[in-house]
Amino acid sequence: MKTFDFYANGQWHKPFSGEYLDSIDPTTGEVWARIPKCNTEDVDKAVQAAHQAFEHGPWGRMLPSERGRALRRLGDVLIENAEILGEIETRDNGKKTKDITPGLKSWLADSFYYYAGLADKIEGSVIPVDAPGILNYTRYEPFGAVACITAWNSPLLIAIWKIAAALAAGNTVVIKPSEYASASTLALMQAFEQADLAPGVLNVVTGLGAQTGADLVNHDLIRLVSFTGGIGGGAATAVTAAQKIKPVIMELGGKSPQLVFADADLQLAANGVAAGIFPPAGQSCISGSRLLVEQSVHDEMVEKLIKVISSARLGHPDDPATHIGPIAHKSHFDCILRDIEKAKADGARLAYGGNAVKPGNAANGLFIEPTIFTNVTQDMKLAQDEVFGPVLAVIPFTSQEQAIEMANDSKFGLAAGVWSQDSARAIRVADRLKAGTVYINNYFNATTQSPVGGYKQSGYGRENGIEGMKAFMQIKSVWLDTTPNQPDPFA
Ligand code: NDP
């Protein structure tokens, strides 16, 4: 079994309390690693290091293009360590190795290269203020030590997105992954030691959200919090941050609708809707978990969907032949099964799946079949609450207006999909959907260049793109008087 320590000020430390938490492999049910249970003293050590590195270390004074070079090294190190990091993430949360490892080598490494290039390109402006003789200009500046709190479903992806943008902006970082999947972030830090960042620039603490996470958010020297997780943890974090007037970036959950119109290519839509939820077993924030389908093609669409998913192979996440891996941890697995029972009790019709299963090559794992419910109505829990599992709710509509109304009738607004061969109509519908990302005739695309984030209770602030870096910066307005005129106010 592997025991990790936490990382602060360029060194590995044992937790002050001496306590560790078990990390359980969701495919085997075995405790495979132990992670530190950091307390207030440990969090303080990491935050002080980040603060010192920003205020007094080379990082805070570094030229933007030098930061860019440091970020490029992080990208290179990520590629060099992708195999081992992918294996650890698979053990940590059951993510399929064939998805994570190539991603680390390509589009996730690109996060570092993208922000490396952007580090010296964020420009302020000269503003024509109504004040004669005054030169007014703006500067984008980093906040200082920032906290990055990540969820268990994609710890490496979320950490990389946050670290790349926060560091490029000139901040120093303390990262806190979920207690359910912290090992891959600790291993990422082990790899990043090869990039020779100055001590304190990047630090990792682990432990319980309500304790370690809350201590981190509450620390006086943390100037901004970037949070990815659920509404409950997000609201608690926002409340804690509000006590100290700290800005927060919130990347929360969703109940994202997929609108399939009768004029869509139904086979394309069936492939896209299935791909938009089932391969990660529904454990993606942007899962398209509500299928709104035009009544006239409802039965044909459901039939096509069932045909697509009936060939899905559940199994060990390191087996290249596996399509769907396990649920990342036991309490979440139990939650999903409860949601399935609740949907049945509420009158939804189970059209496919709905069971926990034991695949041959991973008989002790936490697997749930891809599941489809029809006869779902807007008032059901299944139509309104995030399951964060492989459960698709199908709801028919009879007009475009009704489809848009139902799509927007949600407390969430993270993503949406529109399937239609009439591009002009698809664009008109996309304009009216209250979601941070809308996909037309595709789903699940996300690259570093384009911002992601939520409307409504799916969050605020953005990650990725130029906006993702500016979210980690604050604007200073500078006023310079070019005239020698400073009249005596009391003359
Ligand atoms: P949680 O909100 O439970 O946890 C998220 C993170 O916050 C974890 O590190 C957790 O630690 C920590 N945390 C929990 N409570 C507090 C607190 N009071 N103060 C500080 N930190 C705290 O979410 P999940 O981990 O269950 O993740 C699933 C959710 O994340 C889903 O809703 C999903 O949609 C969303 N998500 C959103 C994404 C986006 O980009 N919009 C991307 C991925 C997921 P611990 O786990 O140790 O309790």
| pLDDT score, position 116 | 98
- Which residue spans within 1-142 are E strands per DSSP? 2-3, 6-8, 11-13, 20-24, 31-36, 134-142
DSSP alpha helices (H): ranges in 298-432? 298-309, 330-345, 381-384, 400-408, 423-432
Query: Letter for the amino acid at 458?
Result: S
Per-residue model confidence as pLDDT tens digits over 60-78:
999 999 999 999 999 999 9
| pLDDT score, position 2 | 93
CA distance linking residue 467 with residue 332, whole number of Å: 32
| pLDDT score, position 487 | 86
Mutate to test the pocket of ligand 1, among 22, 182, 252, 327 (most ligand atoms within 8 A of CB): 252
Per-residue model confidence as pLDDT tens digits over 448-469:
999 999 999 999 999 999 999 9
Say yes or no: CB of residue 230 within 6 Å of ligand 1: yes
Domain ranges of the chain: 2-252+454-477, 257-440
Distance in Å, CA 304 to ligand 1 centroid: 34
| pLDDT score, position 327 | 98
Residue 285 annotated as catalytic: yes
Residue 251 annotated as catalytic: yes
Print the SS3 string covering 329-353.
CHHHHHHHHHHHHHHHHCCCEEEEC
Intervals of the chain under pLDDT 70: none
- Among 407, 373, 411, 369, residue whose Cα is nearest residue 393: 373
The backbone region for 200, taken as left when phi is positive above 0, alpha when psi lies in -120 to 50, beta otherwise, is left
Catalytic residue among 251, 294, 369, 386: 251
257-440 is classed in which CATH architecture? 3-Layer(aba) Sandwich (3.40)
Enter the pTM of the model. Answer: 0.97
Catalytic residue among 285, 294, 304, 470: 285
For the record, the structure tokens of 267 come out as 């086979």
| pLDDT score, position 168 | 98
Residue 300 annotated as catalytic: no
Distance in Å, CA 134 to ligand 1 centroid: 47
Helix, strand, coil percent values for the chain (each to nearest 5): 40, 20, 40
2-252+454-477 is classed in which CATH architecture? 3-Layer(aba) Sandwich (3.40)
